[in-house]
Amino acid sequence: MVNAAVVILAGTESHSDLGRLVNGLEAAKEFDENPDDDLELIFDGAGTQWVPELEDEDHDYHDLYQSLRDEAAVCDYCSNAFGVSDAVDDTDVVAVDENEGHPSIRSLVDDGYEIITF
């Protein structure tokens, strides 16, 4: 059994950012497909901007994102800082704020999660 936390930090500004997003989602999918693994998928920092984009059914990676939505969470503080909090609020993606408005990476490490950033 593996505990993995995939953290999407890449923003939406460049083709390389899209590549990092897709690689992160594909890695998350690999863990999600293994029934013995536990997965946390966190959109943090500039990565919070992806949530409203991926909610769009016309986005190329909408289906991949949808397959992982039950595992997804978004940083509450960063969704505000990057101007997407209203759009995120319109979804059912869980906002996390255990560490002064941010996800608690330390708690994940303490729980035995490997942290993988994209």
> Mind listing the pLDDT tens digit of every residue in the chain (118 residues)?
999 999 999 999 999 999 999 999 999 999 999 999 999 999 999 999 999 999 999 999 999 999 999 999 999 999 999 999 999 999 999 999 999 999 999 999 999 999 999 9
3-state secondary structure of 103: coil
Handedness of CA 44, 40, 22, 7 (dihedral sign): positive
With tokens 């190329």, the residue in question is: 60
Structural domain harbouring 94: 3-117
Number of domains in the chain: 1
Q: Report the length, in residues, of the chain.
A: 118
Q: What is the CATH number of the domain that holds 63?
A: 3.40.1260.10
pLDDT for res 15: 98
pLDDT for res 109: 98
Q: What is the pTM of this model?
A: 0.97
pLDDT for res 93: 97
pLDDT for res 43: 98
